[in-house]
Structure formats: structure tokens, C-alpha cells
Structure 1
Amino acid sequence: MKKGELVFIPTPAIGHLVSIVELAKVLVHRDNRFSITVLVMKSSFAPTITSYIASIAASTSTTGIRFLDLPQVDPPSPEILKSPEVFISTFIENHKPQVKHTITNLIESHSVRLAGLVLDLFCVTMIDVANELGVPSFIFSTSSAASLGLMLHLPTLHHQIITDFKDSDTDFIIPAFSNPVPPLVLPSVVLTKKSDEYDMFLKIALRFKETAGIIVNTFADLESKAVNWFVELEGQIPPVYPVGPLLVLKGHTESPSDQIMDWLDKQPPLSVILLCFGSMGSFGVPQVREIALGLERSGCRFLWSLRQPSKTELTFPSDYTNPEEVLPDGFLERMDGRGLVCGWVPQVAVLAHQAIGGFVSHCGWNSILESLWNGVPILTWPIYAEQQLNAFEMVKELGLAVEMRLDYRSGADLVTAEEVERGVRCVMDGDSEIRRKVKEMGGKSKKAVMEGGSSFSLLGRFIDDLLDKN
């Protein structure tokens, strides 16, 4: 019998691509009745994708996974650049003819038996392609179960709340959360109803129910409230499969820097706080100086990934060529030996280092899972996308992080040196209850993916359901 071919269609952004490739690896390792093709959309706004895919394709651990580049399409018109979410959604929509043609050609040229499509949440438009080809489609959510819960509840909220969400004078009751959710920790794209971004997200949310199932990068012990709600809704929504954490723990996307790792090797255990804000996180000079003053006053050792804002909407932040120009006078000299300021850092390898005792994070979901896995408590500094919601969940729902801010967006007040100093000292407290809980949750995350664990079992259920549909 021929292997079943699953076609994965990720959003062309490194945070989305990495976790969906990890799902592909786990699936082909678990069951040799499947092989996987990952369709890659070429884009000038995601340059790191090309080198990542080249390294993965060359790895012996990815047997059973192939990568196919889709024909390049013209980027959307410049007027929608003001909304990155709408831009990326339109960019993906424009690939529909190429996706169908490439899959059809794959079936004919390789004589494969198409088993289904696994789609990133921004790629729900490809449900149409799956329907035309007569195969099931599945959503893969790279965010939390709580964020998925918001998406599934969004059509209900849309009818319940007549004002813009940002203008609501009450918090929202969202069944995936134990606590009422303040409007301003919701993702920016849903705050204003009369906007292209809101329309796009509502359309995505409505299409979730058309799929055969939703795979989510989390585990039951971490987000039991949301996971239990999905079970209660069985029959009203597609089956939900929490199969995480899906992390790049071996064969990192980038090699660790010798300078950084050598410096960490010289530091005492749990003595260093890492400041790192993801591929899109950066700060201008006034905020950089407040961070520096706060770190200096805290007395803590630190490793700071310092990036400067991008010049255009569709380019990434870059390293400062001369950090001394943006830091307080004499800061680097005063911090010599106590702190290291650098550009890009190999976050996975750094979080696993014994010297790291805390993490100032933008609260991207991959970063949260990596931090929990390594038992490192987070000081929350969310910036964009659903990060405010992640920070709220970690601080208020789960008690697994220290709050510095739950809402920090462009135009907001600066986070002051006093806030940084207080937050750093709090998260680096070696005897805190949060540190104990994070370490305990790290152990549970490892058990979830081991044989007999909840995520291991639910991946098996996904495979069984997929075979039934074939």
C-alpha cells in the first residue's frame, strides 16, 4: 500500500515554519505510513526561511519530508502594507492556483496518495483547495490553546459586543479563560471592528469549523481550562489535538555563538537574565536607555539581545552596528564582566544553559514553551500579535510569569528604568513560588511528549482519525 502523503502549507514566517516542521518530523518518526511535503512560499520579507529550509533539508533527521518551492507570485499592492496581517493573508490567498497546480503535479509525477492538507491558521483559504481535491484539511495553530479559544469564540463575541472591543467598558467572558479578559490584552487586529484586519480575522475564525481537526502546539497540563472547553464542545467544533510542545531542541536553526556561550560558561548557575524579543522585537533609543539604566540598577548579570527597529514595514530588525551610540555613556565599561550586550542570540541554546535564571520575553508562544521546557521564569514584555494575550495567560491565569507589562505597543509610554529594575529583581528571586511552579511545569512538558503522555496519546488519536478519513 502506498504511503499517505500529507501536504503542509505554512505561513512564510520563521516562527510559524519552525513549529510546523517540528510537527512534520514527529509525525514521520511516529508512523511510517505517512510522508510529508512542505510547500514553501518565497518572500523577500522572510529572508531567514531560505537558510533554515536548506539546513533542514540537508539533515538526516528529516527523512520522509520534502520541501517544494512554490512559483513566486507578485506581492500585494503597497496600500495594504499598513497592515502586516492583511498583507500576509492576501499574499497567501494569491498562491491558491500555484498550490493546487503543485499538489496535482505532485500526485501525478510521484504517484502519491494524497491523505490531506495541514494548514497554518493564516492559510485557511487553502481549505478550498483541499475540498476541490477531495481530501480533509486540518488547521495547525502555532499559538496557545487559549488563543485558539479566542478565535473559536470570536464569532460569538462579534454578535454579543456591539461596540469596538477596544471601547468596551467591561472585561470579556471567554470560555477558554478562567478570568475575565481585559479588552486591551486582545490582539490589536480585533480591537476595531470596522477594519480590514478585523474582517480578516473573523473570516479565519469562521472557517475553522470547516476543517476535519485542529492541531495545537500546547499540552493539556499547561492549558487545562482551554483544552477541557474544547472537549465540552465536541460535535460543535472539529476535534482539537494538543500535541506540544513542539520545539527545536536538536539541530538548532542556528549554531550557538562561541562568544556568547563562552561568556555564559563563566557565570554562576541561575545568575544571568536573558533579554530577547523575537525576530520582530526591537526598541528605539529612548527605550534602550531606560532598559540599560534598569539593568544597571538591578545589580543582576544579564545577556541582552539588542536590535534596532527596521527601516520599512516588511523588513526585520537588525543588530545595532555601534551599540555604544544608543546606550548611556560609559554603560558598557561599567557593565564589563557583569553583562553582555550583543545582537542576535541562539535563544534555544541560551535558555538551556545552566547560567540562565530568568528571561525578559516578548511572550511569543514558541519562546514561552522553550522557557517552560528549561524551567526558566519569564518577565513579560509583550509587543505585538497575540503576545499580550499570552502574557495575560501566563501571569493572571497560570501564575507562571512575572508581570512587567501586559500591554506594550507602539505609541505606549516607555517602560521605565524603575519598572525594569523591579521586574528583573523579582523574576531573578531564586526562592520564588513562580520559579518553583515553572520548574514543575517544565517537567510536565517533557512528560507530555513521552510515550504515555497526553500529547503523545493525542498525536496517536490524530493519526487514527486521519487514517479513518482515508
Structure 2
Amino acid sequence: MLNTVDGLGGVIGAKYFSRKMEGKPVWVIGPACNNSNTVKKDHKNMQTEGIFSWLDLQAPCSVLYVCFRSQNAILPSQVRELALGLEASEKPFIWVVRRPIGFSTATEDLQAEWFPEGFVERNRKKNQGLLVYKWVPQLEILSHKSTGSFLNHCGWNSVLESLCHGVPIIGWPLTGEQMFNSKMLEDEAGVCMEVARGIMEGNVKCEHIAEVIKMGMEEINKGGEMRRKACEMKVKLEEAIKESEGFKGSSIRAMDEFLNTASNKYSTL
């Protein structure tokens, strides 16, 4: 069973896995994640209350959400370039800061060791963005009306969570299948712009980061087209798992086929 849908690498991926498994059936049953209709709104702690109070003040689709998840890290030099790029883009942002490679933790006490000089103070004065060092309710942030784009590593869970909420992606794949995900999302699905790829000293500069962020978050041209296609993909993802009287989405039908196949196989044993 594959956690995707037709139109998002689903058919190609299913055919590939079927070939690798010598013709055995493969079912496309995604998305296996929540959407904005099922997100639980629970802002009880002070940090999350602050995040959503700040988001509520921003214009619709204006905020860039930046998160590489806890299993992914970039170099200290790349953190500095990303910080300067965010600042130069002049776009409001929420950045979930993870420890750079070579550091054991990510805390406010250590921020001076990897951020550009004066960055934190300038950001605090301008109130351009939020720097967060702990867990954040990602689905709630993605479902917020002010969130306009998601800069991430193109891990498949993050991709689906973003597209389930109609949020286009600015991709920075770091390893493994993330490279293929980013290329497919940009070239085939049209919902992504790649800002960098991999972990290599000097492979990304702040000027380029700022340029891609501005372009990816435009209301027209490239950014507008990405948002339109991301919203179309949101509808596809919703339809795939929709079930109502007389209608079953493609993923529901695929799950039924899987269960029927498994039941028939079991009954012949």
C-alpha cells in the first residue's frame, strides 16, 4: 500500500513497486494524514498561544513556515545563509530552528553560535518572524489562513501535510528519496520550487534564498500558479478519501480491494 494518490506520483510509483515485486498488486491509499477539517485546535501552552496570536495578525497567505523536522539538519553556514535570506525576503516567517550539524541541541542560549551577528535582535525589533526551538503543532500552522508556503526537506509526510492544506512548497531536499520527491513536485505536480539541495558547504547563498522565497510567495506568476495547483491537489487528496452515500474515493476503493484480496487469500489457506 502506498501513501499517495493518483496525480501525485501515484500511478508511476504503483507501477514501479509492482515491477519490483514481480507483478504483485499495489494499492494507492493516501493521504494518511489529517486535513484542516480534522485538526484539533488546542493552544493551551504559552508558546503555541504566542504562535497563533502572531499568525492571526498576519495577512492571508503571507507567512512562510520553515521546518526540516527533527531528523534533518543543515550546516551552521547554511543556517546563517537561510537566516539572512529570510531577512532579505522581507516576508513574515515562522522558523522551527533545529540544531545544525555539529551541535547537540538547539536552544536560544546557543543561537549566537550559528545565527548571523545581530540577526536575532534585528528580527525582534522588526517583528518579521518567529524563531521556535521546540515542538510546534505543524498541522495547525499549515491550516492557518495566514500560512502561504512551506519551506521543508520534502520528506513525504511533510509533503502530504502541506498539500492536504493547499500550501505550496519551497523545497530543500537533504538526502535519499527527498531529492526525487522535490523534482517530481516541481516538474510534474507544479506545487514546488527548489531553493537548494543537499548538505554541502557553499551550495546556497542568502541572495538566492531571498529571491526564491519572494518568487514562490507571489500572488501572481510562479507563486500564484503553485498555490493554484496546491489547492487543486488539496481537492484531489480530499476526494481520494471521501466516502458518502453512493460515492467512494479512489483510496477508499483501493483499501476495499486490498481487504477483499487479503480476505480471499486467507480463506484459501
Q: Same fold (TM over 0.5)?
A: yes
2:255 corresponds to which residue? 459
What is the alpha-carbon distance in structure 1 between the residues aligned to residue 159 and residue 21 of structure 2? 31
Paired AA for residue 385 in structure 1: G
What is the alpha-carbon distance in structure 2 between the residues aligned to residue 358 and residue 459 of structure 1? 31
Verify the 8 A CA contact 1:241 1:462 in the aligned structure 2. yes
2:116 corresponds to which residue? 328
Query: Which of 168, 171, 178 pairs up with 1:380?
Result: 171
2:207 corresponds to which residue? 418
Residues 398/311 of structure 1: CA separation in 2 closer, same or farther (3 Å cut): same
2:241 corresponds to which residue? 449
Verify the 8 A CA contact 2:172 2:198 in the aligned structure 1. yes
What is the alpha-carbon distance in structure 2 between the residues aligned to residue 338 and residue 311 of structure 1? 28
The Cα shift of 1:335 comes to: 2.1
Verify the 8 A CA contact 2:14 2:26 in the aligned structure 1. no
The Cα shift of 1:309 comes to: 3.4
What is the alpha-carbon distance in structure 2 between the residues aligned to residue 412 and residue 329 of structure 1? 19
The Cα shift of 1:325 comes to: 4.1
What is the alpha-carbon distance in structure 1 between the residues aligned to residue 20 and residue 129 of structure 2? 51
CA deviation map 1:308-367 (0-9, x unaligned): 13669xxxx642332244322322232232111111322221111111001111000000
What is the alpha-carbon distance in structure 1 between the residues aligned to residue 132 and residue 11 of structure 2? 39
Residues 286/309 of structure 1: CA separation in 2 closer, same or farther (3 Å cut): closer
Query: Which of 263, 266, 275 pairs up with 2:66?
Result: 275
CA deviation map 1:374-418 (0-9, x unaligned): 11111110112311111111112222211212x313x35331101
1:174 corresponds to which residue? none
1:343 corresponds to which residue? 133
Residues 328/234 of structure 1: CA separation in 2 closer, same or farther (3 Å cut): closer
Paired AA for residue 181 in structure 2: N
**What's the TM-score once normalised by structure 2's chain length?**
0.83
What is the alpha-carbon distance in structure 1 between the residues aligned to residue 20 and residue 72 of structure 2? 38
Task: Spell out the pairing of 1:19-98 with structure 2 (5 A cutoff).
Answer: none
Paired AA for residue 429 in structure 1: E
- The structure whose RCO (Cα within 8 Å, separation 6+) is larger is 2
Question: Aligned with 1:374: secondary structure?
Answer: coil
What is the alpha-carbon distance in structure 1 between the residues aligned to residue 112 and residue 20 of structure 2? 57
What is the alpha-carbon distance in structure 1 between the residues aligned to residue 84 and residue 17 of structure 2? 48
1:77 corresponds to which residue? none
CA deviation map 1:105-151 (0-9, x unaligned): xxxxxxxxxxxxxxxxxxxxxxxxxxxxxxxxxxxxxxxxxxxxxxx
**Identical-pair percentage:** 35
**2:23 matches 1:237:** yes
2:106 corresponds to which residue? 319
Task: Choose between structure 1 and 2: higher strand proportion.
Answer: 1
Paired AA for residue 176 in structure 2: A
CA deviation map 1:212-263 (0-9, x unaligned): xxx11011132254157369859942111110000145577x9782222222
Verify the 8 A CA contact 1:402 1:423 in the aligned structure 2. yes
**2:162 matches 1:366:** no
CA deviation map 1:271-322 (0-9, x unaligned): 100110012122343222111111111111111111113669xxxx642332
* Greater Rg over alpha carbons, structure: 1
Paired AA for residue 198 in structure 2: Y
Verify the 8 A CA contact 1:304 1:341 in the aligned structure 2. yes
Structural RMSD (CA): 2.5
CA deviation map 1:422-446 (0-9, x unaligned): 1100111122211111111111101
The Cα shift of 1:465 comes to: 0.8
Residues 225/382 of structure 1: CA separation in 2 closer, same or farther (3 Å cut): same
Residues 229/282 of structure 1: CA separation in 2 closer, same or farther (3 Å cut): closer
Question: Aligned with 2:87: secondary structure?
Answer: helix
Question: Aligned with 2:33: secondary structure?
Answer: coil
Verify the 8 A CA contact 1:220 1:455 in the aligned structure 2. no
**What's the TM-score once normalised by structure 1's chain length?**
0.49
Paired AA for residue 223 in structure 1: G
1:223 corresponds to which residue? 9
Paired AA for residue 430 in structure 1: E
Q: 5+ residue gaps in structure 2?
A: none
